[in-house]
């Protein structure tokens, strides 16, 4: 497998696929090559059967399609996209038949469509979390907040479930696949559960005006992401179907107190 953008999710995918891959990073750090080293990239691509693309579009569009599209013919190609392409659904459910050109980032919308047109496997991902990158880390670092907005919900996915879904698609038809958990929930619910697992008070409430423009944009969208196609076509099921399962697993890996036995006072729903 050749990986454009060997980052957090891509490394989990490589591990799930057997751990053998060549990938790019912007700085060509250990065990990778620089994206702009065209000779090395093309040589590695020629020796690869599968290509995974996790680089987002830049100001001119999708860089991989611009720089290396001619080297991808005849290969299995997977593209890590975003459920943000669906835009705001007013809290309703969206699946792969929903319009995918309504997101706040037109270049992402265009890249998603361009990869589909090339016959790629396009994985639309919601908020990604896992070890080292979860509400537990934000709460522990004092960077989490609550807004009191309980009717704004979003979907998320554990990084290991992304990896399992991509591997399951190695022998599946190309097309768009939503990889998400089974229970969309509010940001406040996730943060409060993380605080309970850590045995600390939940963070204070913050007004939307106090948040960054990016964060305010997040709260401007409200949708539930359906994952039925991935289950039906790929035979995939999320190992962490809710944020509670996922956060408990992350907590068990990083905390000396097992996440399955939180303080009684926390009153945590264990489903």
Q: How many angstroms separate the CA atoms of 179 and 85, rounded?
A: 14
DSSP string, 14-47: HHHTTS--EEEESS--TTEEETT-HHHHHHHHHT
Mean pLDDT, range 56-61, rounded to an integer: 95
What's the pLDDT score for residue 90? 95
Pair 157, 127: CB distance under 8 Å: yes
pLDDT tens digits for 10-38?
Answer: 999 999 999 778 898 776 666 689 999 99
Q: How many angstroms separate the CA atoms of 45 and 71, rounded?
A: 7
Q: How confident is the model at residue 270 (pLDDT cuts 50, 70, 90)?
A: very low
Confirm whether pTM is higher than 0.85. yes
All domains in the chain, ordered by first residue: 2-266 (3.40.50.720)
């Amino acid at each position: 497998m050749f990986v454009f953008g060997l980052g957090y999710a891509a490394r989990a995918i490589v591990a799930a696929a057997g751990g053998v891959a060549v990938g790019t990073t912007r700085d060509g750090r250990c065990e990778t090559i620089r994206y702009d080293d065209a000779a090395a990239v093309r040589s590695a691509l020629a020796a690869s059967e599968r290509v995974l693309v996790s680089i987002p579009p830049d100001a001119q569009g999708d860089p991989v399609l611009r720089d290396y599209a001619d080297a991808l013919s005849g290969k299995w190609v997977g593209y890590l996209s975003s459920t943000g392409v669906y835009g705001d659904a007013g809290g309703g459910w969206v699946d792969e038949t929903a319009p995918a050109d309504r997101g706040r980032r037109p270049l992402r919308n265009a890249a998603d469509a361009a990869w589909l047109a090339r016959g790629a496997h396009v994985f639309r991902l919601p908020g990604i979390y896992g070890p080292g990158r979860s509400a537990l880390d934000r709460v522990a670092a004092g960077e989490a907040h609550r807004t009191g907005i309980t009717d704004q919900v979003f979907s998320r996915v554990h990084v290991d479930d992304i990896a399992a879904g991509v591997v399951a698609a190695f022998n599946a038809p190309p097309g768009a696949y939503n990889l998400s958990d089974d229970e969309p929930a509010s940001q406040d619910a996730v943060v409060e559960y993380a605080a309970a697992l850590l045995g600390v008070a939940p963070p204070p409430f913050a007004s939307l005006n106090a948040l960054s423009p990016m964060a305010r944009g997040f709260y401007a969208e409200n949708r539930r992401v359906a994952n039925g196609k991935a289950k039906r076509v790929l035979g995939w099921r999320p190992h962490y179907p809710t944020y509670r399962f996922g956060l408990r697993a992350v907590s068990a890996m990083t905390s000396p107190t097992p996440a399955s036995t939180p303080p009684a006072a926390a009153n945590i729903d264990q489903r």
